[in-house]
Structure 1
Amino acid sequence: MGSGRDLRRDVAEVELPLVLDGVAEAEAARRRLLNQLDEHLLPRLKELSSPAVVVIAGSTGAGKSTLYNSLLGEEVSQAGVLRPTTREPVFAYNPLDVDVLVHSPTTAMSRVVEHDGVPRGTALLDAPDLDSLLAENRSTAAQLLEAADLWLFVTTAARYGDALPWVALGQAMERGASVAMVLNRVPQHNLTTIRGDLLARLREHGMEGVPLFVIPDVGPHEGMLDRATVTPIARWLTMLAGPDRSRAVIVRTLKGSLAALPAWVTGIADAVQQQVEAAEVLRGTIEKALPDAEASARASVAAGVVAEGSVASRWAQLASAEKIDRLKVRHGLARSTKRRGRAREAALEPLLDEVRAAATRTLVAAGSSADDSLRAALTGPDAPPGGPAFAPEHGDPAREAAREKAAATQVHEWVSVAERAVEALRGIDEPGVTPQDSAENRRAEAAVKALGPSGLVALLLTSAAGVDDATRLVQALLGEPGAASAQTLASDLADRAAAMVAREPVDLRERLDIPALAPDAAVGLRLRLAELRRLS
């Protein structure tokens, strides 16, 4: 039981997040294995003395409920003629088995009745149609079949060749369940032919040992079948009903189910390992997509893309109207009155706004280009398994909003770096402290007087953005320390463009950095597999 519970826990924890070939089938197998563990194996291992559950199953209109009622000799299960009908499963057991009956998920989803017509040691379960038009019915039927110790599969002479019976029987054989078959409504004139054909089909599917019961077509009728018609099936159920014989059915199916588990668990473990390996390839693909995008982002900043367009136009306007680039400099010091300096500072404010906006656009473009590179690598001709479904969606509003917010934050910090650079040139270590007195500090103070603090920040940032005339003015006003500060700001902006590239795959990496895709994700299942093989 302990191993069974451990297996159930590990299977329940399996996640298959990447869209790979076969993942839908693997997930369906995982859910079916959970159903098998919950509905049959764990309850049955807990109590072997509980009645053997015989599920009467089949396709729509096969006459399951009529057969069920006929075996009990009483209308217990509604035999509806209107389709589709949401039907409640009926679980009938002999009153003498009440002390050993184990309540399970099967009894929880069924109407449970005591009935003397049920052979002691067995329980008869009437399940909904396997091919019901209602998904609820199909799901319930599948769950009940997983709980069965024995399947009594009902089909008709008109439908035994359909795919459904053979798919269902194949699933039963896959998990080692005991099976019997009822061929209902067989015309008398070709009963022998149809019976022979069905027996041949059973042999072809490796089911030559499956008991087969044939019910002749009795024509239009209401209510139950004649008792003599179902006597062979009733006699067979009674034969199974003795304590030893019903236990043998239980143990045979239980052994079959346990024997089928290793292959089942192997398939799921392999699917998990496939996810792990695909995740590693995706990580590598993401990493390979970034260097070119980062180099391109840095190159754009170095080429002065921020200075193009609105920034260059604004600078040209200031040079023409305000003659910013013609500030008087004598003996290395800017010459200006405070009033004129305040006027220039106000005139430079729009330039600072233009530089902020242009820098923000540049950083957004760097992130967007990286996003395009990632998507191309994950969806292109050489895309790795799972890449197309994993790739970021083009034009995702949430990603675009996050990118713009990140760019605005980076530019705000960049401007703050420029403000601190101006304070450093002035020799101000802390706000409110008197500037230090050196030649470099005096030059910076004179520049602040001529342009204002924010105006000098705008000048440094414009130079860092790539406006050559602004760079020459910085050199004239501040000398080499100023030129070095502008160059540092240019490098800082390039670093921030690279940071915008680096942030693009962060959410993709987070989606891969989960336990389900960790290198040891399949270890737990492999351990359970080894335990199962020791038991088998």
Structure 2
Amino acid sequence: MTPSLETRASRRAARKAGADAAEEIGLTVHDVARDLRRDVAAVELPLPIDGAQEAAASRDRLLAQLDEHLLPRLAELSSPAVVVVAGSTGAGKSTLYNSLLGEDVSDAGVLRPTTREPVLAFHPADADLVAPGPVTELSRVVQHEGVPRGTALLDAPDLDSFVQQNRSTAHQLLEAADLWLFVTTAARYGDALPWQALARATERGASVAMVLNRTPKETLTTVRGDLLQRLRDHGMTDVPLFVIPDVGPHEGLLDPSVVAPVRRWLTLLAGPDRSRAVIVRTLKGALGALPGWVTSLADAVEAQREATHVLRRTVTDEIPAAERLARDAVAAGVVAGASVEARWRDLSGAVGVDRVKVRADRARSTRRAGRAREAALDELRGDVVAAASRTLVAAGARVEERLRGVLAGPGAPAGGEAVVPDGGARAAAREAGTPPVVQEWASRADALVEQARTSGFGSGGTEGGSTDGGAPGGGEQEVARVQSAAKAFGPRGLATLLLASAAGSDDAARVLTRVLDTLADGPVNELRVDLADRAAAVVDAEVQAVLDELGPPEPADDAAAGLRVRLAELRRLT
């Protein structure tokens, strides 16, 4: 086979390989990239642990890369390769751009910023192939025959523009491009910005070429050699470098001979097969860079999961001691307090609550006197309910303060400050939520008395009750005794005495012993246990508020697992 035939055969093989690669990318990697985008978007990094801020920035950039370049490009491989002309302020980007087209298409001049509106130019014959996307949405789109077929030239705003929106747009367009044509000058190629931008391109696997503009003839060799060495030092040995000499003060387009090397290079990229090869190469580079990003993001998610588990364990470890403290406060009989004692003294003098006569084990009173005592005992009930509410609120406040200490105090686990209870919000929640809970407790006493008036304070069985057809729960004598007490104090008044005794009032307990003997022990103990349970529930609510801030543990696990699956798919396909 002659050399020319060999060359043509190798070119045909290369074109076929590029087409096969493009088809493979379009049909398989697009699905993986789409699933990856979904999983990355679902990642949440709420805890301010080490590396979380950097991971969030990486997540946002990965989403931008997927949204602005990979997914649109994978969805439409036949569209022209986007070549973005980028660089620093005053590098001569727009002048170079216009000179390559042979016409003033993009604004150029001495005023800064020059490029206020990105310009995307493509050959008219490629109009049907240009796919809508971030680049077309952000740019002024023009058709121009000076653009080689199969490519689209994009003039982007300055990367260091003093207008923040311009900087943001420039970086967004760079993420969407297939190839970067980076323009710098002999005076500014050593600045940090060009190398930061080039490192960004290398990181995402983009194809890059560089233009050294306005290079004085007397220093051209030295500057070019220094720049090539810098490129090698940054691992960019394959980056094409074009040097444009300094032509002195001028207006308008550069002479065609000055930009001819760049134009020839663009022409070499032109054509469906060649431009597709550029696209596929950039796509493969971008896809090859994804595993590192995804690995870092998955590691960050797992770090969040571990921190969440530690915080969850730290918080839940507080529950047993806090519940025990709340229950003990109720069991110790300290709920009633001074306000209940003071109210009892008033009742004793006003309506003689503690002077009800008892004969033959039954309280003796008229219904009228019982209604008077019942009305007076309503004031005592208000004090008991208020005292119980204060006890439960105080139990919650103690837990909140304890949680604040273990989450944000010395030795607190990483991220704890992010879930420290909001003192104002928790106090408001306790103040609003506790009174209904205590009212339910008080209603429970009313229900016990109502039941006892027909079946006694028994459990509803025959144990200790009548066997001759009497009341099923506690026997006729017990029922009669309860009914006499309910007559002397009123049903609601008797329930109030049960509540006060359960809350720790010795005065109420003595009255109940006089009129009911030991019959009241069961309901009083039941009410005390009930109140203790409610105090423990208040504790649990404070803990649950923090656990809710942490969120369920499973999503973090699922997010990391999903990212690992996408990572395995990427590695298999790339």
The one of 186, 192, 206 equivalent to 1:163 is: 192
Q: 1:292 to 1:220 in 2, by over 3 A?
A: farther
Cross-structure match for 2:412 = 383
1:424 and 2:451 aligned: yes
Cross-structure match for 2:516 = 478
Give the gaps of 5 or more residues in structure 1: 430-434
1:408 and 2:446 aligned: no
Cross-structure match for 2:485 = 447
Q: 1:482 to 1:153 in 2, by over 3 A?
A: same
The one of 530, 534, 546 equivalent to 1:496 is: 534
How many Å separate the matches in 1 of 2:488 and 2:213? 104
- Per-residue displacement from partner, 1:162-215 (whole Å, max 9, x unpaired)? 322222111111111111122334445544443333333222211232222333
Question: Does the 8 Å CA contact 1:329/1:476 hold for their aligned counterparts?
Answer: yes
Amino acid paired to 1:16:
L
Residue 514 of structure 1, CA deviation: 4.4
Question: Does the 8 Å CA contact 1:289/1:377 hold for their aligned counterparts?
Answer: no
Cross-structure match for 1:136 = 165
Residue 81 of structure 1, CA deviation: 5.1
1:126 and 2:164 aligned: no
SS in 2 for 1:275: helix
Question: Does the 8 Å CA contact 1:425/1:482 hold for their aligned counterparts?
Answer: no
How many Å separate the matches in 2 of 1:324 and 1:462? 13
The one of 506, 512, 521 equivalent to 2:559 is: 521
Residue 217 of structure 1, CA deviation: 4.1
Question: Does the 8 Å CA contact 1:94/1:116 hold for their aligned counterparts?
Answer: yes
How many Å separate the matches in 1 of 2:553 and 2:124? 49
Question: Does the 8 Å CA contact 1:290/1:374 hold for their aligned counterparts?
Answer: no
1:125-204 aligned within 5 A? 125-204=154-233
1:274-285 aligned within 5 A? 274-285=303-314
Amino acid paired to 2:177:
A
Compare 79-88 and 51-60 and name the one that shifted more: 79-88
1:269 and 2:298 aligned: yes
How many Å separate the matches in 1 of 2:439 and 2:143? 77
Q: 1:472 to 1:265 in 2, by over 3 A?
A: same
Q: 1:500 to 1:82 in 2, by over 3 A?
A: farther
How many Å separate the matches in 1 of 2:214 and 2:135? 29
1:368 and 2:406 aligned: no
TM-score w.r.t. the length of structure 2 is: 0.86
1:51-66 aligned within 5 A? 51-66=80-95
SS in 2 for 1:21: coil
Residue 515 of structure 1, CA deviation: 7.7
- Per-residue displacement from partner, 1:285-316 (whole Å, max 9, x unpaired)? 22112222111111211223321131222123
How many Å separate the matches in 1 of 2:188 and 2:422? 47
- Per-residue displacement from partner, 1:315-349 (whole Å, max 9, x unpaired)? 23323444422332222222222222222222222
How many Å separate the matches in 1 of 2:275 and 2:237? 21
Q: 1:271 to 1:170 in 2, by over 3 A?
A: same
- Per-residue displacement from partner, 1:483-512 (whole Å, max 9, x unpaired)? 221121111111110011111233433444
Compare 92-101 and 114-123 and name the one that shifted more: 92-101
Q: 1:80 to 1:442 in 2, by over 3 A?
A: farther
Q: 1:366 to 1:22 in 2, by over 3 A?
A: same
SS in 2 for 1:56: strand
Q: 1:343 to 1:116 in 2, by over 3 A?
A: same
- Per-residue displacement from partner, 1:445-503 (whole Å, max 9, x unpaired)? 22222222222122111111111121111111112121221121111111110011111
Amino acid paired to 2:477:
A
SS in 2 for 1:91: strand
Residue 516 of structure 1, CA deviation: 6.8
Cross-structure match for 1:395 = 424
Question: Does the 8 Å CA contact 2:113/2:158 hold for their aligned counterparts?
Answer: no
TM-score w.r.t. the length of structure 1 is: 0.91
Residue 56 of structure 1, CA deviation: 0.8
Residue 284 of structure 1, CA deviation: 1.1
Question: Does the 8 Å CA contact 1:338/1:449 hold for their aligned counterparts?
Answer: yes
Compare 418-427 and 487-496 and name the one that shifted more: 418-427
The one of 502, 511, 514 equivalent to 1:464 is: 502
Question: Does the 8 Å CA contact 1:306/1:465 hold for their aligned counterparts?
Answer: yes
Question: Does the 8 Å CA contact 1:16/1:516 hold for their aligned counterparts?
Answer: no
Residue 125 of structure 1, CA deviation: 0.5
Cross-structure match for 1:215 = 244
Amino acid paired to 1:235:
R
Cross-structure match for 2:49 = 20
- Per-residue displacement from partner, 1:134-183 (whole Å, max 9, x unpaired)? 44333322221122111011223343333222221111111111111223
Give the gaps of 5 or more residues in structure 2: 1-29, 457-469
- Per-residue displacement from partner, 1:199-247 (whole Å, max 9, x unpaired)? 3322221123222233344455443334333333223222332444433
How many Å separate the matches in 1 of 2:403 and 2:137? 50
SS in 2 for 1:88: coil
How many Å separate the matches in 1 of 2:192 and 2:337? 69
1:238-317 aligned within 5 A? 238-317=267-346
Amino acid paired to 2:378:
E
Question: Does the 8 Å CA contact 1:276/1:517 hold for their aligned counterparts?
Answer: no
How many Å separate the matches in 1 of 2:78 and 2:213? 32
How many Å separate the matches in 2 of 1:393 and 1:232? 65
Question: Does the 8 Å CA contact 2:351/2:372 hold for their aligned counterparts?
Answer: no
Residue 251 of structure 1, CA deviation: 2.6
How many Å separate the matches in 2 of 1:276 and 1:380? 21
Residue 12 of structure 1, CA deviation: 2.8
How many Å separate the matches in 1 of 2:512 and 2:398? 32
Aligned length: 529
Q: 1:337 to 1:46 in 2, by over 3 A?
A: closer
Cross-structure match for 1:432 = none
The one of 60, 71, 85 equivalent to 2:100 is: 71
The one of 431, 438, 443 equivalent to 2:476 is: 438
Question: Does the 8 Å CA contact 2:115/2:158 hold for their aligned counterparts?
Answer: no
Residue 359 of structure 1, CA deviation: 0.8
How many Å separate the matches in 2 of 1:242 and 1:130? 30
